[in-house]
Amino acid sequence: MPTATLLAAGHGTGEAVTFWVLGPLAVIAAVAMVLSRNAVHAALFLAAVMLSFAGMYAAQDAPFLAAVQVIVYTGAILMLFLFVLMLVGVDSSDSLTETLRGQRLAAFLVGLGFAVLLMGAIASAVGGGEGAGLQQANAEGNVVGIARLLFTKYVFAFEVTSALLITAALGAMVLAHKERRTPKATQRESSRLRFTASHEPYPAMGPGVFADHDSTATPALLPDGSPAPGSVAHVLEHADEDDEDDEDDEDDQVGTESAGTAGTGRRS
């Protein structure tokens, strides 16, 4: 609808400017959401779409819908979804192999049918005559008007949607639930199993320790591979030096004995 038509129909200039600013942003974010290969980026683009819709609702004198769009959908549901994605971790190199034959074709046909239905609904709403207007819709208040429509004219669709959401939540809980087939081991049983079935009953080294064994005389290594100063006690450092000196003395003694044996052999 052109801007002149919007102004002629009683809409303000601010509403027209809001529409022409948020409308393209919502379309661009929606297209980017569909084309994005990263689930986290797709969720962020969807948040941009929802915030754009909230701005349009506010411009249409629907403050309740704008608040619900921001608080419930963007602030609660979508952010929870994004938090779960970031907590679980999503790799951009996920497998794109089609596990079900014809899945992409079926998804394309279903999407095409949904697009046709959506276009038909929009065409019917636009060409079906003049609207009631905001003054008549908000005669009793925005919240009261929405509640009257939801619980009178659209009560069946509202209850069916509620039942569908509850069924989906229960289905997700059932699918995610896993029955324990064996009883949980007690602390005593875990300790016995640790000492009987394992060849290394002592605790394993903590993550981030770059060492091939857990001796206290082994210095910790820095990221460049050099020993970290202060990681070994002063007494152990001197003990290592004494051990090295003893080993050098033994090597010298072995070398001297070998040289003497070789000289004796030559004389004989």
- Evaluate whether residue 258 is within a structural domain: yes
Report the CATH number that the domain containing residue 50 is assigned in CATH.
1.20.120.1200
pTM of the model: 0.49
- Evaluate whether residue 123 is within a structural domain: no
**54, 72, 89 — which closes off a domain?**
89
- Evaluate whether residue 69 is within a structural domain: yes
> Helix-strand-coil percent breakdown of the chain, rounded to 5?
70, 0, 30
> In 3D, which of 39, 138, 150, 33 has the Cα closest to residue 94?
39
Q: What is the share, in percent, of the chain residues with pLDDT greater than 90?
A: 7
**59, 74, 89 — which closes off a domain?**
89
What is the number of domains present in the chain?
2
Q: 22: domain range? A: 1-89
Q: pLDDT tens-digit profile of 214-225?
A: 667 777 777 777
Average pLDDT over residues 192-217: 65
- Evaluate whether residue 9 is within a structural domain: yes
- Evaluate whether residue 120 is within a structural domain: no
